[in-house]
Structure 1
Amino acid sequence: METYLQGFMMGLAYVAPIGVQNLFVINSALTQKKSKAFLIALIVIFFDVSLAFACFYGIGLLIDKLEWLKLAILLVGSLILIYIGQGLIRSKAVLKESDSTDISLMTAITSACVVTWFNPQAIIDGTMMLGAFRASLPHEAGMYFILGVMSASFTWFMGITTIVSLFKKVFNDKILRIINIVCGAIIIFYGSKLLINFYNMIINRI
């Protein structure tokens, strides 16, 4: 039980900071019907848990051994984040639940995958945080720890979706527009920072 709670607390520390995943879930809860918002939250949870498993059981090993993979993740991930950010800034703020704002299931799955698996910061943070705990835990305790992480992911993203969905009437198009601009700017900042890291790694290799 102690190991499970440890995993739960670490899982919250892993997903709680404002990042691309949280911004995507919040934006979906604001603009989509409740049923679609909760479905999107579940899709994000699936990809988040799968990434946590990969980080916990060894993706960091591949990144450490294959520098080209780290470079590729940094480059592709940074460009995708910048693209997502500028898309948010340019998007029209419409809170009305209509066909024009109802995104397709395939778009929801693709977007959830991108903001999770193509987010270098999430991969690096997950590898460092979860990988470090994996090394410190007895083999038999690993499963309890990762179950705690999974529970934290489910609790956090479903909680955000529930709260935002319940109080989204407080938001209007102007507020959503401001949120989109701020969120877009934050995402572009993350992407630019990762692009600079990629550039510095290339320069250091020359």
Structure 2
Amino acid sequence: MDVYLQGFLMGLAYVAPIGVQNLFVINSAISQKRGRALLIALIVIFFDITLAFACFFGIGLLIDKLEWLKLIILLIGSLIVIYIGQGLIRSKSSFKETDTNISLAKVITTACVVTWFNPQAIIDGTMMLGAFRVNLAASDATYFILGVVSASFAWFTGVTLFVSFFRDKFNDKVLRIINIVCGAIIIFYGIKLLLSFYTMLKG
């Protein structure tokens, strides 16, 4: 139980910082109906869990060693993240929109990009989760990663439900401002990734 709790707390520390993933979930909870927002959260959780497993088993070390792979992920990831950000800024979201204004394919693609197309996040995750795995007995590793998975599920569904319940406090003007702020932050993340790509390419 202690190992599970340790995994849960580490999982929270891993997903809680406000990054592109959280901004995407928060924005969805504000702009979509609750059922749709929860579906989006579940899709994000799926990709987050797969990333956690990958980090736990050390894929970040592989990316760190394969410079060309890291460069490809950085370039593609940065461009797609910037595209997502400018899309948010330009969007004319309204609370009057229907529940299906985002196609499932787009949701899956976006969730995948905001989770997987940041090699630094993969490497950092590997350092965080992989470091724990080294010190865990084989029997404890399962409980630890289950704790991490539980944290991801609890965090993203919790954030979605919390924001969704209070979405009535927002109007279209506030939603527009949130979209612009979220979009700008996401573009900032994308530019940072692009600069990392440029620095690595020059280095």
Q: TM-score, normalised by structure 2?
A: 0.94
Unaligned runs of 5+ in 1: none
The answer (yes or no) to whether the contact 1:33–1:102 under 8 Å persists in 2 is no
Name the structure 2 match of 1:8: 8
Q: Distance in 2 between matches of 1:52 and 1:27?
A: 23
Q: 1:50: which partner in 2? A: 50
CA distance in 2 between partners of 1:181 and 1:97 (Å): 18
Aligned residue number for residue 115 of structure 2? 116
1:192 corresponds to: 191
Q: Which residue in 1 is equivalent to 2:177?
A: 178
- Three-state SS of the structure 1 residue aligned to 2:166 is helix
Q: Percent identity?
A: 75
Moved over 3 A (4+): none
Q: Per-residue deviation at 1:93?
A: 3.0
Equivalent residues in 2 for 1:83-94, closer than 5 Å? 83-94=83-94
Q: Contact 1:60/1:131 (CA < 8 Å) preserved in 2?
A: no
Question: Is the Cα contact below 8 Å between 2:47 and 2:111 reproduced in 1?
Answer: yes
Structure 2 counterpart of 1:21:
21
Q: Which amino acid aligns with 1:184?
A: G
Kept after mapping to 2: 8 A contact 1:81/1:119: no
Provide the residue aligned with 2:124 in structure 1. 125
- Asked if structure 1 preserves the Cα contact closer than 8 Å seen for 2:64 and 2:123, the reply is no
How many equivalent residue pairs?
203
Amino acid at match of 1:61: L
SS in structure 2 of the partner of residue 146 of structure 1: helix
Offset from partner CA, 1:86-129 (integer Å, 9 cap, x none) = 11111113122326x62222222222112111233432321221
| Preserved CA contact (<8 Å) 2:89 2:184 | yes
2:31 matched residue in structure 1: 31
CA distance in 1, matches of 2:27, 2:119: 21
Structure-2 separation of matches of 1:173 and 1:194: 31
CA deviation string 1:67-95 (max 9, x = no partner): 11111111111111111111111111312
Does the CA contact (< 8 Å) of 1:31 and 1:96 recur in 2? Answer: no
Preserved contact between residue 63 and residue 119 of structure 2 (Cα < 8 Å): no
Answer yes or no: is the 8 Å Cα contact 1:37–1:161 preserved in 2.
yes
Q: Spell out, residue by residue over 1:44-80, the C-alpha distance to the aligned partner (whole angstroms, 9 max, x if none).
A: 1111101100110121231132111111111111111
TM-score w.r.t. length of structure 1: 0.93
Q: CA deviation at 1:191?
A: 1.1
Deviation at 1:157, TM superposition (A): 0.4
